[in-house]
Amino acid sequence: MGDIENISKNPENQLKMLLFHRNPELNGRLETFVRMLEPANIVVITDPDFYEKKLVGEMATDHELIELNRKYYSNSYLYRSNPDDVARTEKDTYISSLDEKNAGATNNWMEPEHLKSRIFNLIKGSMKNKTMYIVPFILGPAGSKYSEAGIQITDNPYVVINLIKISLVGKEAINRIENTGKYVVAIHVTGTLDKNNRYIAHFTDEDLIISVNTAYGGNALLTKKGYALRIASVHARDNSRMAEHMMALEVTSPSGRKYGISGAFPSASGKTNLSMIRTPTDMAGWDAQLLSDDIIWMHINNDSLYAINPEYGFFGVAPGTNATTNPNAMKAFNRDTIFTNTALTTDGKPWWYSLDPSVSEVYDWHGNLTTDLKNAAHPNSRFTTPIKNYPYLSSKFYDNEGLKIDAMLFGGRRSDLIPLVRQAKSWAQGVLFGAMIRAETTAATTGKVGILRNDPMAMIPFCGYNIGDYFQHWLDMGKLVQHRPEIFYVNWFRKDSDGNFIWPGFSENFRVIEWIASRLDAKANAIETPVGLIPDIANFASGNLGKNKLEQLFEIDYPGWLKELNEIEPFFKKIGDSFPEELWREFHNMKDGVEKQ
Ligand code: GTP
Ligand code: MN
Ligand code: MN
């Protein structure tokens, strides 16, 4: 390693000599940023294990990372972020393509050169006295032609450590970039964390991302939402592929049949939990293995859709996770994990309310000793854990083609109206299901929690181009794929009149998967309604749930649906000309059906 650090005394020469010597164009881009940022030092992360240990050690010495009690959590640390930098900030997120139409009605836009000059003014000289880390990464299986590569520059060791945990970092990535000549450049500058001058900018015409004045995961780990969703959705549009905010898992039935199931739910609405689902005790023989907990990239293979996971780790929501709701997550994050903004017990364990309600006093996420337990962990506190720690990983994770997808789920938090599960009658109606997602907002992004907002395909914060064109792309993909996945809409969050969840959720969601599997096998019957096909509750295996509750879960309130459709219509209209005609037809079909009831 010594060689790299020595040569780094002359940063520009080092780049020429060491890094992308077969790729002068990339070297040129890097040199521009080296001159602009003026780092004191440059480190290239060629050996991720070595640098992870080194940086963790340095941050622990500086008390920026707090080592957790080794008796319960090995090689694991707590990090407290700046209190003004705890969630994604969508108002600062830009899709900057030369043509404003490419941002569409739902993304912030600024003319690329204008946005760049603003950002360049902010970041000029901002790495003086700091080390610049160059992090080369691969997204997806190392040998897959569907994988992509890039480099992230950052001045933040916390970001480097997290990147190493959630992407494939190191020499293989440099080789891939040199062999393919294809890469995305992502620049991250911690800056002053000034929330009034924060930018997460995606220059979608030139495969460039720049993020400044933030170090929060979703804003600063640019391999994740920035590249694997925003930039990759543009690549997917141009290559008949899909890049989706979806979990995916491989389900095996007692007879050994395999089902690939993916699901898009808005942030903090259950993807990670569903991807780690445990079989209920009375469903012996069923099994589920994880492909991805947050993002998949899909391509067509053998006339079917196949999914790979571009990530190598989890950046999961901590609150709500515990031995009952998600025991499998707990088997993964008890080692090699960075917890961000959770509380801390007095004996050095990470903590949030549902994890252990028996304690009486903890250090809150600011580090103050408190008995105010409900607010002690930040609601968007997270764990960063390498995926290889997860005990039930699908073998398809390492497969260059990935997992064949048989069913896709849409969903979101809805305390009323939306039934537990329903199936689309056709691909086009399924696309409408996705486009119609409205969900209660969560702490994953700054702003009010619990407000209904439109979040089609759970992609509103992540679609790198015009959302109307994105809907058209979904419709087109359905025409290109012969064996189209069936599309379903689920809602685990319907509440009764006392405000309690009617459906127990978590591992009980396996019963919905069972129904979906029997629909795929054309075994279960379904009842046709204007809003889709719903189970015949006489034959729906609902575990211990009483008939009365089941009826509440599947109740279709037509006046409520008409109101829903009327509230969604202005959002669709706002999208304008790019909103596909075919989708309007589906929408009006549904509305006519509902009106006739
Ligand atoms: P991002 O990682 O932000 O994209 O979110 P996510 O979709 O992965 O959400 P996650 O699985 O982390 O769940 C968020 C919250 O929803 C957690 O507090 C969970 O405990 C809760 N949750 C997940 N599944 C269920 C469920 O089936 N029922 C109920 N009631 N809550 C759930
Ligand atoms: Mn997510
Ligand atoms: Mn998640």
Nearest-atom number in ligand 1 for the CA of 316 is 2
Question: 185 C-alpha vs ligand 1 centroid, how far in Å?
Answer: 31
Number of the ligand closest to the Cα of 314: 3
Ligand 1 site, CB within 6 A: 265, 267-273, 294, 316-317, 319-320, 325, 444, 492-493, 501, 505-506, 509
Return per-residue pLDDT of the chain as tens, 597 residues.
Answer: 334 444 445 555 555 555 666 788 888 888 899 999 999 989 999 999 999 999 999 999 999 999 999 999 999 999 999 999 998 999 999 999 999 999 999 999 999 999 999 999 999 999 999 999 999 999 999 999 999 999 999 999 999 999 999 999 999 999 999 999 999 999 999 999 999 999 999 999 999 999 999 999 989 999 999 999 999 999 999 999 999 999 999 999 999 999 999 999 998 899 999 999 999 999 999 999 999 999 999 999 999 999 999 999 999 999 999 999 999 999 999 999 999 999 999 999 999 999 999 999 999 999 999 999 999 999 999 999 999 999 999 999 999 999 999 999 999 999 999 999 999 999 999 999 999 999 988 877 777 788 899 999 999 999 999 999 999 999 999 999 999 999 999 999 999 999 999 999 999 999 999 999 999 999 989 999 999 999 999 889 999 999 999 999 999 999 999 999 999 999 999 999 999 999 999 999 999 999 999
Please name the helix (run of DSSP H) or strand (run of DSSP E) that holds residue 50, with its range, or none.
helix 48-61
- If one residue of 246, 272, 414 were mutated to test the ligand 1 pocket, choosing by the most ligand atoms within 8 A of its CB, it would be 272
Residue 52: name the closest of 394, 395, 392, 312 by CA. 312
| DSSP β-ladder status, 148-154 and 184-189 | parallel
Going from the C-alpha of 25 to that of each of 22, 324, 391, 411, the distances in angstroms are 9, 52, 42, 43
Q: Which residues of 408-430 are buried (b: 16+ CB within 10 A; e: fewer)?
A: bbbbbbbbebbbbbbbbbebbbb
Question: 265 C-alpha vs ligand 1 centroid, how far in Å?
Answer: 9
- If one residue of 273, 445, 449, 545 were mutated to test the ligand 1 pocket, choosing by the most ligand atoms within 8 A of its CB, it would be 273
Nearest-atom number in ligand 1 for the CA of 509 is 27
Residue of minimum CA distance from atom 14 in ligand 1: 268
Question: 442 C-alpha vs ligand 1 centroid, how far in Å?
Answer: 10
Measured over the CA atoms of residue 419, residue 421, residue 423 and residue 429, the dihedral's sign is positive
Angstrom distance (rounded) from CA 21 to CA 529: 62
Nearest-atom number in ligand 1 for the CA of 266 is 7
Q: Are the C-beta atoms of residues 267 and 444 closer than 8 Å to each other? A: yes
Going from the C-alpha of 219 to that of each of 210, 216, 329, the distances in angstroms are 10, 5, 24
Beta-carbon contacts of residue 337 (< 8 Å; ≥ 6 apart): 73, 75, 76, 77, 383, 384, 385, 389
ipTM of this complex prediction, to 2 decimal places: 0.99
Q: Are the C-beta atoms of residues 491 and 414 closer than 8 Å to each other? A: yes
Q: Are the C-beta atoms of residues 266 and 413 closer than 8 Å to each other? A: yes
- If one residue of 269, 342, 503 were mutated to test the ligand 1 pocket, choosing by the most ligand atoms within 8 A of its CB, it would be 269
Give the rounded percent of residues in the chain with a pLDDT score beyond 70: 96
Query: Helix or strand or coil: residue 347?
Result: coil
Which residues are identified as catalytic? Answer: 269
CA angle, 263 as apex, 261 and 269 as ends, to 5°? 140
Nearest-atom number in ligand 1 for the CA of 326 is 20
Residue of minimum CA distance from atom 27 in ligand 1: 505
pLDDT tens-digit readout, 270-292: 999 999 999 999 999 999 999 99
Beta-carbon contacts of residue 566 (< 8 Å; ≥ 6 apart): none
Helix, strand and coil in the chain, % to nearest 5? 35, 25, 40
Question: 294 C-alpha vs ligand 2 centroid, how far in Å?
Answer: 5
Angstrom distance (rounded) from CA 141 to CA 170: 14
Residue of minimum CA distance from atom 26 in ligand 1: 505
pLDDT tens-digit readout, 550-581: 999 999 999 999 999 999 999 999 999 999 99
